Chain A
Amino acid sequence: MIRTENLTKRYNGTLALEGLTLEVHQGELLVLLGPNGAGKTTTLRLLLGLISPTSGRVWIAGEPMTPESHSLRRQIGYLPETPGFWERLPAWKNLEIYARLYGVPAPRSRVMELLEQFGLADRAHDPVATFSKGMRQRLALARAMIHDPPILLLDEPTAGLDPEAALEVRELLRMLKGHGRTILLCTHDLEEAERLGDRVAILRTHLLALDTPDRLRTQRFGVVVAIQIDGEPEPYLIRIQGQPGVIQAAIRNGRLEIQVTDLRTVTPHLVRRLVEAGAPILSVTPVKASLEELYLQIVREGHGATMPG
């Protein structure tokens, strides 16, 4: 649905994005992660044809996107980093103008339907200048949805919102994802990325990693199992080290943490060895590195994990 090939953008010689090649499949939600200035907003603007690439190409729904591809923009709903409304106009009028620009039939009824859906119907006639940040963000999402596009490009939709408003927006995103839309979401919120994303792309001017969070974890940290023992774990560490399938074993947080090649086959064997050694096992749990740890490691290293697309 979205495809880029070797996309590069320089602003007056300053490199903003380099060699980005990625594909977002129909119905997929891809989260674009990266520090400030990593090229996330530039990527969205290139996908929309708002700016032209220094080199490389973009395809939207199979069609090449350029700054002149005005009608192709109907395929895309866009929520920019700052929502940007005509502040003096009421919410309904803001949306109605956009509905007409996109050629939506019966624009007024579509506007009212969306305001209802996004919980803003009772404020429809109020100027946007009187809206809270959370309401603006909901209105911006409604605007992005005004022409019912198959693709949504969302630039930090929960940035700067209080937890309650952020939760509301996240619920809306979950609802939008449920309708088979292709979504590209830029965010700094790693929890949000984990919850909503089918895959994550980590960007720092160039693409550092692209895969599902679980696969990235496995590639980076392997599979780790934690075994809690009633008492001191040290005597049992030696029993574990060197066992088939064990990559590394250590004591962390008062428990045994063992990096294994495969959770399903290796864990029962390890448990059996420990029981034979008389270890009073309290619990056995797989350990999942947080996306934050994964992200920080990838960004700090600044070079690619695997990028199977």
Chain B
Amino acid sequence: MNWHRIAAVIDKEIHDALRNRYIVMLMILLPILFAAIPIISLASVRQIPPSMDTSEEWPPALARRLAGLPLQAQLEVFLASQFMLLFWVAPLAIPMTIATYSVVGEKREKALEPLLATPVTTGELLAGKAIAAAFLGIALSWAGYLLMVAAAYGIRLSPPALETVWGPMAWVQIFAMSPLITLLATLAGLIVSSRVNDPRLAEQIGMVVILPLIGLILAQSFGFLWVSGTLLILITLFLIGADALLIALAVALFKRETILTRWR
């Protein structure tokens, strides 16, 4: 692996993405949305009358966690926990768009052949593309997350809710899980992008790999399970393995000859 060449590929991908209006628009809107939606929802909890008793409605796993808290704090913790899960998949929109257009777009522009004629190896090329795509998405979701944390302190959430958005479990979700999920989806996007002709199809197929995670998010939303610290660590370890596997798979499936000779 030559890091100078990887850096050149990253530079190209980021410059190219920054000249794509659709991506730039997403880059501006997403961090604002990431921050605004949770904060507006959390602030609206204050409108609920404190006399309302909902404690018996919580799923059992959550009910144990919320036991003894005032109603508003319970609602804040519940909502904050849901929004933290949203940050698992929030950074995906930009990297998936970049990754899926990355190889297909270059094939369409016929820019892949001269690129493959350089000394760049398949591993370097895919690493550069994946890092660039994932970096933009992660950076923006982190920006959105930090805005949300600042706003959470600004609207004075209850201490248990604050700990939910800015505490060890939140950090694992934001700084470990979210990048790993983003990398997973990006690699899937790249693999599909190097095998199909249509970027939209690539995006849709690429998204399939994150369906189990979306299932997990929905399961928590509907109260079927509660994502505990242990489960978070297990998911993180699983994601590290899945990412490593997908990197190897991406390199193995990127067939230069097929891409050059079967793509018109």
Contacts and interface: CB of A to CB of B under 8 A. Distances in A.
Interface stretch (B1-9, B35-43, B59-67): B1-9
B111 interface: yes
B5 A82 contact: no
A100 B8 contact: yes
Contact of A101 (B19, B110, B113, B119): B119
Contacts of B12: 86, 89, 93, 97
A50 B114 contact: no
Say which size band chain B's interface belongs to: 20 to 34
Interface string A67-86: 10011011010111011111
B214 to A, nearest CB: 32
Nearest to B258: A51
Given A100-B4, A100-B7, A143-B114, A52 B257 contact: yes
A74 B109 CA distance: 23
B246 interface: no
Contacts, number: 85
Contacts of B114: 78-80, 83-84, 98, 140, 143
Interface in B1-55: 4-5, 7-9, 11-12, 15-16, 19-20
Given A88-B16, A89-B19, A73 B109 contact: no
Contacts of B256: 50-51, 67
A70 B117 CA distance: 8
Nearest to A67: B256
A71 B124 CA distance: 13
B257 A51 contact: yes
Contacts of A140: 114
Contact of B113 (A50, A88, A100): A50
Contact of A84 (B8, B16, B20, B110): B110
A51 B260 contact: yes
B5 A101 contact: yes
B109 A103 contact: no
A82 B110 contact: yes
B118 A89 contact: no
A98 B9 CA distance: 9
Contact of B118 (A51, A86, A101): A101
A50 B260 contact: yes
B4 A103 contact: yes
Given A11-B261, A97-B11, A70 B110 contact: no
B128 to A, nearest CB: 10
Say which size band chain A's interface belongs to: 20 to 34
Interface in A79-117: 79-80, 82-89, 93, 97-98, 100-103
Nearest to B2: A103
A2 to B, nearest CB: 15
Contacts of A188: none
A98 B257 contact: no
Interface SS of chain B = helix
Contacts of B208: none
A101 B111 CA distance: 14
B116 interface: yes
A48 interface: yes
Nearest to A76: B117
Contacts of A70: 119-121
A45 interface: yes
Interface string A120-136: 00000001000000000
Interface in B107-166: 109-121
B109 A100 contact: no
Contacts of B106: 86
A71 B16 CA distance: 26
A100 B257 contact: no
Contact of A88 (B5, B20, B116, B120): B20
A67 B8 contact: no
Contact of B19 (A76, A79, A103, A127): A127
Contacts of B5: 100-101, 103
Interface in B221-264: 256-257, 260-261
A73 B118 contact: yes
A27 B86 CA distance: 62
Contacts of A67: 256-257
Contacts of A93: 12, 15
24 contacts: A11-B261, A50-B117, A50-B256, A50-B257, A67-B257, A70-B119, A71-B119, A73-B117, A73-B119, A78-B114, A80-B114, A83-B114, A86-B16, A86-B109, A88-B19, A97-B8, A97-B12, A98-B114, A101-B115, A102-B118, A102-B119, A103-B5, A127-B19, A143-B114
Given A11-B261, A67-B256, A98-B118, 16 more contacts: A50-B116, A67-B257, A70-B121, A71-B119, A73-B119, A74-B119, A80-B113, A83-B110, A84-B113, A85-B111, A89-B12, A101-B9, A101-B115, A101-B119, A102-B118, A103-B4
Q: Which 3 A-B pairs have the closest CB atoms?
A: A84-B110, A100-B8, A88-B19
